[in-house]
Chain A
Amino acid sequence: MDPFTAREVPETDVCLGQVAHRLNRLATLRVTFRAASAALLGASALAACAAWLSPQEFRLALALVVGLVLLVVALSLRVLRRRWAGPLEAAGWVESKIPLDQRLLTLVSARPRDASARLWPELVADNRKQLGRWRADRLGIAALPANVLLLLASALVAWLFLVPWYDAGSLPELPGRATAPQAQTPGGEAPGESGPSGVGPQSGFQSGTRGADAGAGPQAKVEGAAPTGALAELQSDLKQNFERSLGGSAVLQDGSGKQGDGAEPQAERGAVAESGLGKSEAEEGGLVPDEQLARREQDDGSGQTVQQEGGAQGGSAKARPGEGQRGRQGEPGAQEQKKGGAQAGGRAAPGGDAPADGPMALGNEDGLKQHAGGAGAGSGKATGDLLAKKPLTLDGGRHKARFSLTLGGIPGKAGSDGPKSMEAQPSSRIADAGTGPQEAARAVRHEEIPAEYEAVVKRIFKREP
């Protein structure tokens, strides 16, 4: 007996309760799956963003994604609340599935005065007759909502983009991949720099490609080494997972190629670097115009000063073979190259303090430059093999820099051999990369010399009156 309606229809009520329970369970699952799908997709999108966006942009993206996920959850909960099925709603649902001509609806929604109607027993009996048509087990209420497919798809995407596919330490030892870390070992004391994300050298210089043009080899280290705050850590973690994930690797390799995490691209770059012309190849991998400019400056065979500037910029590219060559050019000079080997983030690794080696010399045009190139040849293939072994003997190719470079030229902490080298290291000119002396020098070099000036110069050097 229903105390509210004074109805006595226990059998029908029991079946209706079962229907309502199943409907509510299905609705709850639907909402849960939708919310979970939104969260997974949001996390995947965040991971992808983390690999591409700056910290500021990442914060914005994080807020956007979190807001969207919360919105989806809130809307889902609202829908769930609105569609929560009581006996009346369950009766309506049954009526929509099984044509009962509102028998059940009338029975459930009957008011107390209806329960005393003369035809009430007939209505109850009539509904009892119809019970076999709509028992809960005959309604075919699905065990899982249809959006379970969405959840599975979201889980697949998340697995592709969030779950690390491999460990950095378990990677096959490819020369190209090992190049960057090795380059730091020549200094020996300067461990390979890796960002706090631990992605490896590349991650620290993921921006590498971008950072290269900014001439921020050391600078990039500074940025990567300073992940302050939870957001930075979150971005770092997501980025790391994304880069190590199956889908992330595919996306990054098929994209600009700036990602140095993949073994194959690195190997290719390393091979290119060996020829001494690898910079141009590496540029296809994502070098930005400023790097092109630096190479042009190098190619024109102009003064050493220019090469030094370019080298300072190229320092950031140590993680990449091609950039490593730029670093070679960027060596301040023959004397400083010996020290700069370590400073350059290991680019000088092949040669270490030693003079220029063969592969490096390939890229140089004169003897002086050969000296300079000695430090920078670390990225070359010939040296790559050599470089590959050293880091693996240390800690699997993943090194953390213990020194940092202050962009203003203030010596940072160095490794075991660092202090000496660091002190001799020239200050970075990252800030002036685009508009500084390099630009001025280039302008001067490309300036058209008037004929009368040439005559004057000749006369001066001939010391003719």
Chain B
Amino acid sequence: MSGEAVVHIGDKLPTPAEFGETFAHLEREIGKVVVGHRDALRQILIAFFAGGHVLIEGVPGIGKTLIVRSLGEALDLTFSRVQFTIDLMPADITGTRVLEESESGRRTMTFAPGPLFTHIMLADEINRATPKTQSALLEAMAELQVTVAGTTHPLASPFFVLATLNPIEMEGTYPLPEAQLDRFLFKVSLAYPGLEELRAIVRGTTGATHGQIAPVFPDQPAEHANALRRKVREVLVAPQVEDYVASLVRATIPDVTGDEKVKSYVSYGASPRGAQALILGAKVVALLAGRVNVSFADVEEVAVPALAHRVVVNFAAQSEGVTSRAIVEHLLEVARKWQR
């Protein structure tokens, strides 16, 4: 991880074709272990290259942890896993100062990095930790640094957090407040595997051999990953597409939208982070399509994972079974006419 290597790789950004090849390679390697969840895996990878974090929602045993671990192995990046519990303290994830005694007997306070100091972190069942601990994690996600005892410690780059939510067993949990949900670029829902996928899971995990994931980047994986992220930022966006994104995000806000469905069922709309998430995710999609510009279709593809968790529905919607995902899909239909 030398600085020279970073500069060298940064000067030579990969082409869209190289970006797409790398992305496909990652999907193939992870697919050796993770059966199914193609769409979820694609969204997770998009969020990774867009520089965001992902909240994964799924029932226990569906492969959330496996996906994250496989991603770390494929990228050949450092990986840590923290099981969030009610007694987990902020210092448990950020690190703390400990008293160390040197050989000469001199005692000094030394910072002991927590599990946050890694490239890829799995925050398992994040809603079981107290809000205090959740906030510590979310601050690190937003600032990419940790301040302990007045000293700021930057996190590794790339830094990618995958937090999981268990939609059942909600008793004794601390649901993430909307402000903290907003910190996640995407929220990805994992569905139950299909019959064929289930057979493949059983066949692949109960045998004597398991799939082996080979690193995608032979050397300097972090630099390669960062170069790909910078490439994403270079993608061009037409003003019309920006207007479309802004209109779409504003349409989710019940106070300013003209859509009756939003007015009826939405309490809070998406924040500007939602627009950023749309653009960044769409840029990755554009590169995957071999383009260096964002299209309306790119935005549509990432709209649901980028906006659904940012749109907070009200009681009326919950009582009528109207989900935030349905709201976003409805707005996408309405917004088609804005694509001019």
Contact = CB atoms under 8 A, between A and B. Distances in A.
A337 B283 CA distance: 103
B340 A92 contact: yes
A118 B13 contact: yes
Interface stretch (A40-48, A96-104, A277-285, A350-358): A96-104
A106 B15 contact: no
Residue among A101, A107, A114, A117 with max Cβ neighbours from chain B (10 Å): A101
Interface in A62-104: 92, 96, 101-103
Contact of A96 (B235, B295, B340): B340
B292 A119 contact: yes
Interface string B272-301: 000000000000001001011111111000
A110 B236 contact: yes
A424 interface: no
Contact of A109 (B13, B234, B238, B294): B238
Contacts of B286: 101
B232 to A, nearest CB: 10
Name the interface size band of chain B.
20 to 34
Given A109-B238, A110-B236, A126 B297 contact: no
B340 A101 contact: no
Q: How large is the interface on A (under 10, 10 to 19, 20 to 34, 35 or more residues)?
A: 10 to 19
Contacts of A122: 15-16, 292
Interface in A33-66: none
Interface string A116-129: 01111011001000
Contact of B239 (A103, A109, A120, A123): A109
Nearest to B287: A119
A126 B291 contact: yes
A105 interface: yes
Contact of B236 (A92, A96, A101, A119): A119
A102 B282 CA distance: 13
A114 B289 contact: no
From A107, A118, A119, residue with most partner B Cβ within 10 Å: A119
B318 interface: no
Given A92-B340, A114-B236, A123 B289 contact: no
A102 B294 contact: yes
Contacts of B234: 117-119
B245 to A, nearest CB: 12
Contact of A101 (B13, B240, B293): B293
B292 A123 contact: yes
Given A92-B340, A119-B234, A122-B16, A101 B239 contact: no
A107 B13 CA distance: 21
Nearest to A96: B340
Nearest to B297: A101
A120 B234 CA distance: 9
A88 B296 CA distance: 17
A103 B290 CA distance: 11
B238 A102 contact: yes
A68 B289 CA distance: 53
Contact of B238 (A96, A106, A118, A119): A106
Nearest to A101: B295
Contacts of A117: 234, 236
Nearest to A125: B292
Nearest to B244: A102
B302 interface: no
B140 interface: no
B237 interface: yes
Contacts of B293: 101-103, 106-107, 123, 126
B283 to A, nearest CB: 10
Interface string B255-268: 00000000000000
B241 A102 contact: yes
Interface string B221-248: 0000000000000111111110000000
Contacts of A103: 291, 293, 295
Contacts of B239: 109, 111
A107 B234 CA distance: 14
Given A96-B340, A118-B234, 19 more contacts: A101-B286, A101-B289, A101-B298, A102-B238, A102-B240, A102-B295, A102-B296, A105-B240, A105-B241, A106-B236, A106-B238, A106-B293, A107-B293, A109-B238, A117-B236, A119-B234, A119-B236, A120-B236, A126-B293
Interface of B: 13, 15-16, 234-241, 286, 289, 291-298, 340
Closest A-B pairs by Cβ, 3 of them: A101-B295, A106-B293, A106-B238
